Structure 1
Amino acid sequence: MKGMGMMPQHKRKPMSEINVVPYIDVMLVLLVIFMVTAPMLTQGVKVDLPETTSDPIQPDKNVESIIVSVDANGAYYVEVGDEGSDPMSLGELRDRVAKILSQRTSSEILVRGDEHVEYGTVVRLMAELQGAGASSIGLITESPGNEK
């Protein structure tokens, strides 16, 4: 009865090794994702933010400020001293600020933006100012008591 139509059974020894191929695949996919996203994390406009609440800045008599304004419609203006300007495009503004900065080495740039202007518009403006050679850019705000 031993061999009557029955197939002999072979006992298999349990496999005690771990298959690491799926883990390597996952690791390589994560490596590619991090390599693609890492350059995106370093983009941005460098702005020195205050660490605490601060008092209003006192204007320096030796340094003339360049005030760049953005109105609610997204038009750009440059004010140097008492001189204002007509509305201009972002490219014209960059050229004008670069020309002013080439003539004056000690000028601070202040940005005055309407509260209804889009955040992206102000960021593009600050990027263009940085490209024009501005080393530090300040933001002009009003205290809450000065609301209209």
Structure 2
Amino acid sequence: MSYQRKRRKPKAEINVVPYIDVMLVLLVIFMVTAPLITQGVKVNLPKQDANPLLEDAKPPIIATIESDGTYWFTDDKGSSEELPKDDLVARIAAIVELAPATHVVVKGDAKVPYGYVVSLMADLENAGIETVGLMTDPSGG
């Protein structure tokens, strides 16, 4: 009786199941901790005056939002007109298309919800106006 011993060939494969388990655990940890890290972060914004437009520059077009939510268009000559928001955006877009160097500034009342200002700025951007400034009160009040 001859007994032959079987020789095992070495396997050339890697068992990736433990690596997948570790990756899933890390994924769960990051999913749980990411919202906790970004919530409740206090930011102290700098308090300083903004640089004004140059005196020799052409006056800007001003889109004003009053405290009651009405929108006003003020052209570079200083004449103002109350307009619905869509008409205001369309008129400003048409002026900027004809004269691309025209500055556009949003002037919002202090009592206007921030969402109104952001919405107007987003609509102006969607209309093709690349840069929109915010008008501030340099006296801080």
Q: Same fold (TM over 0.5)?
A: yes
Larger deviation, residues 79-88 vs 106-115:
79-88
Unpaired segments ≥5 residues, structure 2: 1-16, 36-45
In structure 1, how many angstroms separate the alpha carbons of the residues matched to 2:93 and 2:29? 43
Q: 2:88 aligns with which of 84, 93, 118?
A: 93
Structure 2 counterpart SS, 1:85 = strand
Unpaired segments ≥5 residues, structure 1: 1-18, 38-50
Which residue of the partner structure matches residue 72 of structure 1?
Answer: 67
Q: Is the 8 A contact 1:63 1:106 kept in 2?
A: no
Q: 2:102 aligns with which of 82, 87, 107?
A: 107
Structure-2 change in CA distance of 1:143 and 1:61 (3 Å): closer
Identity level (%): 26
Q: Is the 8 A contact 2:63 2:71 kept in 1?
A: yes
In structure 1, how many angstroms separate the alpha carbons of the residues matched to 2:115 and 2:53? 29
1:84 aligns with 2:80: yes
Spell out, residue by residue over 1:97-136, the C-alpha distance to the aligned partner (whole angstroms, 9 max, x if none). Answer: 1111111121101111000000111011111112222222
Could you tell me the TM-score, scaled by structure 2's length?
0.63
In structure 2, how many angstroms separate the alpha carbons of the residues matched to 1:30 and 1:104? 53
- In the alignment of these two chains, the number of paired residues is 112
Could you tell me the TM-score, scaled by structure 1's length?
0.60
